[in-house]
């Protein structure tokens, strides 16, 4: 793997570190590398959770590499699997991703964090979207942020470049934890281990079902569940783990998940 994208495995946990000084901006080549990494994470049954973070302490990511763009790199080329940064359009990823945001998450860097399932941020982290000031659509944020924030706040971030610090982001529910810089990765790993302890098929079913039903009224959500429209839920329902969980509870022991 390129030095721009460093990976480290620790049992069921995959840690992905974006390392492109000075601002961890993402050019097309880096985007394709990240896409390859996230696809390998998706397809490896031994991996359960990914933590995405970045080198340094000032920038999580400045997003799309505008310097590369100014030198002729097109913004509408193939970013690789998963779309920009490998995650923004990886819609079939049913494993959780934790963004450990170590500084400013700007533009596409903020969008990348929004595409994770959890965000742990340092106290000095900051989130903002400058795309409209360089005549770019912040697509992932345009689609996601109005679903995650009150619309006036989302629109101010999208269209007026409003900055949001980590504490405010936590108050709005965008961020799960705000911690000191030296506690960032330990806190993200602690969250990851809580997920690893859960049944893998149940975690996958939760993520897929939440995605499939995000825009549906509750009655239709139950139809999706009962009509077999969620493959991950159907796999869970028919699995040995669905029997192992209640059995382990009754026997007062830790469950032994097989993932099947």
The CATH number covering residue 127 comes to 3.90.226.10
Question: Is residue 61 in some structural domain?
Answer: yes
Question: Where does a domain end: 172, 196, 220?
Answer: 196
Domain co-membership, 186 together with 209: no
pLDDT at 163: 97
Kindly give, in sequence order, each residue whose CB lies less than 8 Å from that of residue 59, ignoring residues fewer than 6 positions away: 22, 23, 24, 103, 104, 106, 109
Catalogue the active-site residues.
111, 131
Average pLDDT, the chain: 94
Question: Is residue 217 in some structural domain?
Answer: yes
Domain extent for 83: 5-196
Question: Where does a domain end: 179, 196, 213?
Answer: 196
Question: Is residue 143 in some structural domain?
Answer: yes
Domain co-membership, 214 together with 184: no
Domain co-membership, 102 together with 171: yes
pLDDT at 72: 60
Over the stretch 43-89, which tens digit does the pLDDT of each residue have? 999 999 999 999 999 999 999 987 766 666 665 567 889 999 999 99
Give the CB-side neighbour count of residue 79, counting CA atoms within 13 A.
Answer: 19
Binned at pLDDT 50, 70 and 90, residue 186 comes out as: very high
Domain co-membership, 13 together with 139: yes
Average pLDDT value for residue range 198-205:
97
Domain co-membership, 192 together with 207: no
Kindly give, in sequence order, each residue whose CB lies less than 8 Å from that of residue 224, ignoring residues fewer than 6 positions away: 209, 212, 213, 216, 230
Domain co-membership, 123 together with 207: no
Give the CB-side neighbour count of residue 163, counting CA atoms within 13 A.
Answer: 8
Question: Is residue 257 in some structural domain?
Answer: no
Cα separation, 171 vs 166, in Å, equals 9
pLDDT at 3: 86
Over the stretch 93-115, which tens digit does the pLDDT of each residue have? 999 999 999 999 999 999 999 99
Domain co-membership, 224 together with 124: no
Domain co-membership, 157 together with 185: yes
20, burial (CB in 10 Å: exposed 0-12, middle 13-18, buried 19+): buried
Domain co-membership, 152 together with 124: yes
Cα separation, 85 vs 155, in Å, equals 23
Domain count across the chain: 2
Average pLDDT value for residue range 175-181:
98
Question: Is residue 208 in some structural domain?
Answer: yes
Question: Is residue 255 in some structural domain?
Answer: no
Question: Where does a domain end: 163, 179, 196?
Answer: 196
Model confidence at 2: pLDDT above 70: no
Average pLDDT value for residue range 196-220:
97
Question: Is residue 153 in some structural domain?
Answer: yes
pLDDT at 73: 63
Model confidence at 92: pLDDT above 60: yes
Domain co-membership, 61 together with 120: yes
Domain co-membership, 169 together with 233: no
pLDDT at 67: 76
- Respond yes or no on whether the N-terminal peptide bond of residue 22 is cis (omega within 30° of 0): yes
How far is the CA of 260 from the CAs of 204, 221, 244, 248, in angstroms?
12, 25, 10, 16
Domain co-membership, 106 together with 174: yes
Average pLDDT value for residue range 12-36:
95
> Is residue 105 helix, strand or coil?
strand
């Amino acid at each position: 793997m390129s030095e721009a994208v460093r990976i480290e495995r620790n049992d069921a946990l995959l840690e992905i570190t974006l390392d492109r000084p000075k601002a961890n901006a993402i050019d097309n080549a880096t985007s394709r590398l990240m896409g390859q990494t996230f696809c390998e994470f998706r397809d490896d049954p031994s991996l359960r959770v990914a933590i995405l973070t970045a080198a340094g302490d000032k920038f999580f990511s400045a997003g799309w590499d505008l310097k590369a763009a100014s030198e002729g790199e097109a913004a509408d080329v193939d970013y690789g699997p998963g779309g920009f940064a490998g995650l923004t359009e990886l819609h079939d990823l049913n494993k959780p991703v934790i963004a450990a945001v170590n500084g400013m998450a700007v533009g596409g860097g903020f969008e990348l964090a929004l595409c994770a399932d959890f965000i742990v941020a340092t106290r000095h982290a900051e989130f903002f979207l400058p795309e409209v000031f360089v005549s770019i659509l912040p697509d992932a944020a345009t689609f996601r942020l109005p679903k995650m924030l009150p619309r006036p706040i989302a629109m101010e971030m999208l269209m007026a470049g409003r900055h949001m610090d980590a504490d405010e982001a936590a108050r709005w529910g965008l961020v799960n934890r705000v911690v000191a810089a030296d506690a960032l990765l330990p806190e993200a790993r602690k969250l990851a281990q809580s997920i690893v302890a859960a049944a893998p098929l149940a975690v996958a079913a939760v993520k897929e079902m939440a995605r499939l039903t995000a825009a549906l009224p509750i009655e239709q959500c139950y139809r999706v569940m009962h009509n077999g429209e969620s493959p991950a839920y159907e796999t869970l329902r028919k699995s040995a783990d669905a029997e192992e969980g209640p059995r382990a509870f009754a026997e007062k022991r830790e469950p032994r998940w097989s993932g099947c």
